[in-house]
Structure 1
């Protein structure tokens, strides 16, 4: 790893170190780093427990337990300068142990983690948010026998890499990440890179897995709900077209509980929401920078009275200070999965998305112009 000296247009090599040389420890340091920044492992993960020991008839502890975006459990085993000989065997035992965890048990495990390490929170709600589903009964956790393993170390012994490669040949998602500390003056840097599989091989395998998943199709209740939503969105899009609405004219029906459309403000979409017990219209500030989202929200809420008067209803304004995004929404209760009520719900969606877009169009255009003219984000 190199530092770039831009004034001299030269590279300077950072000094590679051993964790032991820096008095860094596995549990106190590496584990905490990954628990608080799990996307350092190259994907979105939700850490649901650390030092997990909830196994029957044994007091062994796995380092980190996580969920991926498909609801699969991920066992993460951390080592420091050397992987050791037994890490693969340890992780396989832990993966076998957690393979039997039920949805209820996983939610309970995460709730304990939140209460112990995060000052509390609603485990079920946070899992729904992470998996981007509206209702808990839609969530499928730890399905089948596709639990995953991740190994982290600065150096992997041959017996470990050979085992991981063998597991991958047998369709078990095991991965190795090389983690190396560097120092530059008083600053500490850590480089985390995938070594098995390489990023290129991982992309290929993900593509093959997606193809297989598509061919196999969704199963059971999930498949039924996907079809239900597609049917509802087809009906809604037809009604919008008939009403002459152009906001959704290039949008296709999908399987999700939302249907988004552009607002003209980058990464800030309008959305129709169709859930089991509620339908809504939404507008989200979803830009990559949380500070930008809060700034935009604060500028827009200054026009709250004007917007609500144009819309004809009070709006729920959600700044969401502990989240990256901010959101506006307006909804009503419904029995969404009862098809008999769909004509009424579709008519509601058509009426309110048109009012929604008209009420927000002018204020959003002003915000967009302010951004383009370089108005400072405060």
Structure 2
């Protein structure tokens, strides 16, 4: 690492050092730095516990427990200047312990970490959705991140072998630097190399798909895709909104509403079906302005729709939405599918038509 000196158009080397030489400790320093700024590991993570030891029949404790944006639990294990020989076996044990954690347990763990009972609110904010619960820790989706000043060959060899079987493991080299009184640290993902990560993951996924093909046929992803295929076929004669949208494994389908940051969503869950207009552009201020302009047309919009709608400004969140939903249905009960599809056939065209004039009017108002 070099420091650029613009005054004399030169560079000056920043000296590499070690955590031991600087007097830093694993728990007091490296762990705290990552907990306070987990984005140093190259993605947006939510730390839900430190020094977690809530495993049955063992006193072991992992350094950091986190969630990624897909709801996967991540075990983060930190070492200082040397990974040691046994860290791979250590983190595999932790991941296996975490695999049994259910949604309620994860929420309780996070509440214990926060200490103020706001775990559900923080989770909704992180996932930007109230329907995050079915994403949490599904199947064998646990991930592992190891952070160390260096990794022994025994560790790197084992990690590369495990990755071939679909385990999501990443190794980050944490290197401290010193220049005068200034200290720096660099986190570099060394396994898998970031440039090759997507390819390695895709190959591992292919291997896992071959091994678990029969089991995956029973998964929720396939159920959702099957439902969406039936729903899209049924909706096409009455609405062109999703004519260019394919069936998805997710619990929602989205289509543009003709305005930046504004989309139509249809959602299916184990407790309700919903149609919503989501306002989720980059600017929270503009999102609220769009919502307020639509809200001013509430009577006109609801008259076109024929029923009251749910207007949710969500002042403390970036997004806002207008929704219509019905409960007492379960996506995973195929006997409810006819009722759910009938809901979309009847109400999706009416919902789209209700906003047909209002959205262009709001768009024009913003451009003035």
Question: Which TM-score bucket, shorter chain as reference?
Answer: 0.7 to 0.9
Q: Distance in 2 between matches of 1:152 and 1:32?
A: 13
Q: Distance in 2 between matches of 1:369 and 1:252?
A: 31
**1:131-150 correspondence runs (5 A):** 134=131, 136=133, 138=134, 141=137, 143-144=139-140, 147-150=142-145
| TM-fit CA distance, 1:207 | 1.8
Give the secondary structure class of the aligned counterpart of 2:65.
strand
| TM-fit CA distance, 1:205 | 0.5
1:47 equivalenced with 2:39 (yes/no): no
2:117 to 94, 117, 120: 120
5+ unaligned residues in a row in structure 1: which ranges? none
Q: Name the structure 2 match of 1:84.
A: 82
Change (3 A) 1:98 1:254: closer
| TM-fit CA distance, 1:50 | 1.0
Give the secondary structure class of the aligned counterpart of 1:100.
helix
Q: Name the structure 2 match of 1:327.
A: 321
Q: Distance in 2 between matches of 1:131 and 1:209?
A: 29
Q: Could you state the TM-score of these two structures normalised by the residue count of structure 2?
A: 0.77
Q: Name the structure 1 match of 2:193.
A: 198
Q: Distance in 1 between matches of 2:2 and 2:299?
A: 54
**Cα deviation 1:5-38 (Å, max 9, x = unaligned):** 99x9978769567668988765455434433543
Change (3 A) 1:220 1:125: farther
- Say whether the 8 Å CA contact 2:70–2:135 is kept in structure 1: no
1:304 equivalenced with 2:301 (yes/no): no
Q: Distance in 2 between matches of 1:280 and 1:264?
A: 20
Q: Distance in 1 between matches of 2:125 and 2:100?
A: 12
Q: Could you state the TM-score of these two structures normalised by the residue count of structure 1?
A: 0.75
5+ unaligned residues in a row in structure 2: which ranges? none
Change (3 A) 1:305 1:124: closer
Q: How many residues align?
A: 363
**1:34-183 correspondence runs (5 A):** 34-55=34-55, 59-68=59-68, 72-79=72-79, 82-86=80-84, 89-90=86-87, 92-101=89-98, 103-104=100-101, 107-117=104-114, 119-122=116-119, 126=123, 130=127, 134=131, 136=133, 138=134, 141=137, 143-144=139-140, 147-153=142-148, 155-156=149-150, 159=152, 162-171=154-163, 172-180=167-175
- Say whether the 8 Å CA contact 2:46–2:126 is kept in structure 1: no
